[in-house]
Structures are given as C-alpha cells and as structure tokens.
Structure 1
Amino acid sequence: MSGVADFVHVVEPAHRPRTPTLLLLHGTGADERDLLPLGRVLAPGAALLSPRGRVDEHGMNRWFRRLREGVFDVDDVIDRAEELAAWVPVALEHHGLAAPVVAVGFSNGANIAAALMLLHPRLLDGAVLLGGGYPLQGREPGAADLSGRAAFLGVGLTDPISTPDQARLLADHLSALGADVELSEHPGGHQVPPAVLEGARSWFEGRFGPR
C-alpha cells in the first residue's frame, strides 16, 4: 500500500478557486523544487504537487532506470509508473488537493508522465510533456481509453536526447487512444523556449483554466 511519505515531495496549495492540481515531474538530475517556477507560470494560483524521482543514477534523481542514453528499462518504466500512480491519489487526499489533475513533465519527467497516461489512463486529466518521447519503447500500451484526456507536447527539432521522431510517435499513440493532442515543434534542442512555454500556457488556460 502506498503512503504519502513514499515520495519526497513539496506541495503548494491552490490560491485561486476552481483551479486544477499540477503534478510536477522533474527531469534527470533535478529534484522536487525544479519545476515549481514552471508550474506557477503555466497555471498561476493552481495547486502544485511535486514529488522527487526515486531512482538514483550516479547521484542523479530519475523516475526509472535506463540501460544507456536513449534506451529505457521498460520493465522498470512500467513498475515505477505503477508506484507513482498508486501514490498520487494518496497524496491528493492527504493534502486536500482537488481534481482535475494535470501532469507537467520535462525530459525524464515527461516520459514518466506519458507512461502514466498510457498505463493508468484514468489517473490524469491531461499532461504537458516537454522534451519527452514514447516511454514504452517497442511495446504497445494496451487498450487504454484516453477519451476526454488532453496532452500538449513540446519538442525541439534538433533535440539529441528526446528526438522529434519519438515525440511524434508518442503523439500518435496518445491520439490513437482517444486523447486530444497538440504537438508544438521548435527549432532548438533539449530545452523549453519562450514560444513553447507560451503555447503550453495558452493550451492549459483553454483546457483547464477557471470557468
């Protein structure tokens, strides 16, 4: 059984009514505080729930193991996604946080957020996936139903870590399962330029902003 202490995490309560909860998922080598500024930009006043990945790769925090750069341990992806999926509802209840729940992930964090959508389709209402790709490398997600869910994907056309092909593959899988997907490509590499950030903010406001 998952407990709220299973993941080191920080919480910022909502400061505006009828706002969603953002599940912030950091990239490799970062921690639970890394994406707090991004969350505040995407959804001012929303509740922020930001855990720390539990995999240690040579002193760097990650969400799942990899065999080498760009090659994931897919069995570990599945196991770690299950752990996180079990923890999220416990943390929401413990901290009194409300639905809808939207994941915001960068790089490795985007990959575990994508795994949550593919493997636990009722957990999240949406996701902002920045610098991520298809996390199940070579495996199909099964018959998940993502109807009513939405995702914004941001990817750099010269990204050597999360390539455009991987982001497009992820977008195709999410769309095939019924999600409403917006793919934003930019000419840069493994970063989030202002134009993509603004696109994500506008997408979020249109989908999940206060009504």
Structure 2
Amino acid sequence: MIHYYRKGTAPRTFVLFHGTGGTEEDLVSIGTMLDPEAHILSLRGEVNENGMNRFFKRVAEGVFDEEDLKMRAERILKEIEELLARYELKDTALHSAGYSNGANMIAGMLYLHGDVFQKSILFHPMVPLKSGPALSLNSAEVFIGAGINDPIVPYENTTQLMQELSRQGAFVTMKTYEMGHRLTLEEVEDAKAWYSAP
C-alpha cells in the first residue's frame, strides 16, 4: 500500500485516511496539528473510482459495497500491522483520523474489529455497515465532526453512527458545524482540544 511516514518523538502513532480523490499527503498537515510529536502514518486508498482514490468501493453516492468494505478493512489492518513492525512502532499508542471516505473506513474497522484504535477522529462520517458494530468498543474514544447541512452525509445518519458506537461502549463526542461537507479549521481545532484533553 502506498503510504507516507514521518518519524515522531512521542510513543504515539497517528494513522491517517484521506477522503475520496485524496492522497496519502492530504491529511499530513492536519495530523501534525492534532499531535505534532506523534509518528505519522498516512495511507492511500487502493480503490480507483473514475480516477479518484478511495478506501473501498461504493454502489452509488452514499451506498457502500459492504462486502468490499469488509475485505479491505481486514487488508488495511494487516497492512498497518506490517508498517508498525517495519518502522518499529508496535509499542506506540495507535490513533486514527480520517475525512469522509477515510472516516467511513475507520468507522468500518471499528464496527468489524473492535477498538483497534485508542482514539479516532472522524470528520464527516456516516454509518459504514447496516448490521451495526459487532464487537465491544469499551476502550475506544471517538470524536465525530458532522455538518448540520452536509449535502453528502445526512445529519441523521451521523447521529445514528454516534449512537451505534456509544451502544457498543465507545466514549463518543460529536460536534456539529454549518459548513456542509467542508473540513474547517474550527473543526480541526475542536478535534485537537478533544484529543489533547487529559
């Protein structure tokens, strides 16, 4: 898997997942804002949709290919494990951040594989799987940034995601914004404040 790695100075690793059409470099500056001392491991989605990189296939706008999502979630987890070993990061705390399609990929991994990340920051996500989360998320903390007037992700869908994660034991904080599907500085700063809180 194509990826970007930057060595950090703290025992924390941030795994970053871009949105549709992005690359492994898109969220590096945001990851640095969230935690300047963490190791950065930023991934590029392997699905090509009309020239745009994605982490899993979809049938239509807002309609996911759930079997493809399941297959790729497992593949990405194995890839992360290999990269952690390669860069000698296995003993670091593992966190994640993603935007849109990348946030949906993280949510899918939480649904399918439990609390694989200690802290996850999901910018404009939606429910990844109709079946809901399968495992306990008692050790997971999740920040969700939602657009109250997001034309791509219905607000009710993101609220459902928050409820389903919470029901499985995750500690979820959700904040809403009025800039549609755009990721704003305010949203990143709120995520940083959440992430940095003791």
Q: TM-score if structure 1 supplies the norm length?
A: 0.90
Aligned to 2:197, what secondary structure does the other structure show?
Answer: helix
* C-alpha deviation, 1:195, in angstroms: 2.1
Once residues 74 and 170 of structure 2 are traced to their aligned partners in structure 1, the CA distance between those partners, rounded to angstroms, is 20
Map 1:89-168 → 2, pairs under 5 A: 89-97=81-89, 98-136=91-129, 138-142=130-134, 144-168=135-159
Gaps of 5+ in 1: 1-6
Q: TM-score if structure 2 supplies the norm length?
A: 0.96
1:8 counterpart = 2:8: no
* C-alpha deviation, 1:133, in angstroms: 0.8
Gaps of 5+ in 2: none
Aligned to 1:76, what secondary structure does the other structure show?
Answer: helix
Q: Is the 8 A contact 2:133 2:168 kept in 1?
A: no
For these two proteins, the number of residue pairs brought into alignment is 197
Q: Is the 8 A contact 2:125 2:153 kept in 1?
A: yes
Q: Is the 8 A contact 1:26 1:107 kept in 2?
A: yes
> Structure 1, residues 23-46: CA drift from partner, whole Å, max 9, x if none?
000000011001001001111121
For 1:204, give the aligned amino acid. Answer: Y
1:194 counterpart = 2:194: no
Once residues 191 and 87 of structure 2 are traced to their aligned partners in structure 1, the CA distance between those partners, rounded to angstroms, is 26
* Runs of 4+ with >4 A deviation: none
* C-alpha deviation, 1:193, in angstroms: 2.0
* C-alpha deviation, 1:167, in angstroms: 1.0
Q: Is the 8 A contact 1:155 1:163 kept in 2?
A: no
* C-alpha deviation, 1:96, in angstroms: 1.3
Q: Is the 8 A contact 2:133 2:165 kept in 1?
A: no
Q: Is the 8 A contact 1:14 1:48 kept in 2?
A: yes
Q: Is the 8 A contact 1:85 1:120 kept in 2?
A: no
What percent of counterpart residues are identical? 35
Q: Is the 8 A contact 2:18 2:24 kept in 1?
A: yes
Q: Is the 8 A contact 2:16 2:27 kept in 1?
A: yes
* C-alpha deviation, 1:198, in angstroms: 1.2
Q: Is the 8 A contact 2:115 2:139 kept in 1?
A: no
Aligned to 2:132, what secondary structure does the other structure show?
Answer: coil
* C-alpha deviation, 1:140, in angstroms: 2.6
Q: CA RMSD in A?
A: 1.1
* C-alpha deviation, 1:60, in angstroms: 0.6
Once residues 197 and 157 of structure 1 are traced to their aligned partners in structure 2, the CA distance between those partners, rounded to angstroms, is 16
